[in-house]
Amino acid sequence: MAWLRSAFQDELDGVTASLVQLSNEVSAAMDKATHAILTANLEEAEAVISADDQIDELAHELDNRIIEIIARQQPVASDLRALVTALRMSSDLERMGDMAHHVAKITRLRHPGAAIPSELLLTVQELGKTVKAVADKCSEVIANRDLEKALEMEKDDDEVDRLHRKLFEALLDESWPHSTETAIDMTLIGRYYERYADHAVSIARRVYFLVTGTYSEKLV
């Protein structure tokens, strides 16, 4: 039976490789969406918007492959858990792609104007940098089941929350000189980055649970 087990292991490895590929693509998508919104770059925003279809397609194909593996291999216990978890991670990654898409759509909507007022550019840049770190660690956590990195992501997520609050504080400052339209854009943009990081952290927690059987929240 050794060769059978090994063929199955190859299939699991293939699933992991596809999840890592998806994770790398949504990381690149959000990075480009951040650059586009900071520089009001329509061409980059359009590229993110079209790439989202490919991300959805990739996630969809992966889901079908996972279900086909479950049907054919009829795994139980930890192998079945790993495959069901892979389905959930694929769904989280697909949503992360949607968030990059949403950020890009705001860039397009406001073009040739800039969506972000100049005094908030640095905060959004920091948000973009932090979620990039989160997404790149997410790829490593999926690829290597690296639990150190999974715990680091919880801390990065705290930093995302701090920057998100900082955005709101700027909007709520009595001297806020911009339009309600800008306030709406900034509220949505803040939420997209926050949700993006939440999905990545949720992936890290799923991997943590698969490896240890406990939830990371209680440990950090």
Q: One-letter amino acid identity for 11?
A: E
The single residue among 82, 121, 151, 188 that binds a copy of itself, judged by CB under 8 A, is: 188
Q: One-letter amino acid identity for 167?
A: L
Under the binding rule (CB under 8 A), the answer on residue 82 touching a copy of itself is no
Q: Compute CA 75 distance to the chain's CA centroid, rounded to the nearest angstrom.
A: 28
Under the binding rule (CB under 8 A), the answer on residue 8 touching a copy of itself is no
Q: If you write DSSP's letter for every residue of 50-99 in order, what string do you get? A: HHHHHHHHHHHHHHHHHHHHHHHH---HHHHHHHHHHHHHHHHHHHHHHH
Under the binding rule (CB under 8 A), the answer on residue 74 touching a copy of itself is yes
The single residue among 60, 88, 155, 165 that binds a copy of itself, judged by CB under 8 A, is: 88
In the numeric block, the tokens 């698969």 are attached to 210
CA–CA dist 141, 130 (Å, integer): 16
Stretch that binds a copy of itself, among 45-53, 129-137, 180-188, 207-215 (CB under 8 A): 180-188
- Measured N-to-C along each axis, helices 180-212 and 77-110 cross at an angle, to the nearest 10 degrees, of 170
Under the binding rule (CB under 8 A), the answer on residue 57 touching a copy of itself is no
> Per-residue contact track with a copy of itself, 89 to 108, x per CB under 8 A?
--x-----------------
Binding site for a copy of itself (CB under 8 A): 67, 70-71, 74-77, 80-81, 84, 87-88, 91, 168, 171-172, 176, 180-181, 183-184, 187-188, 191
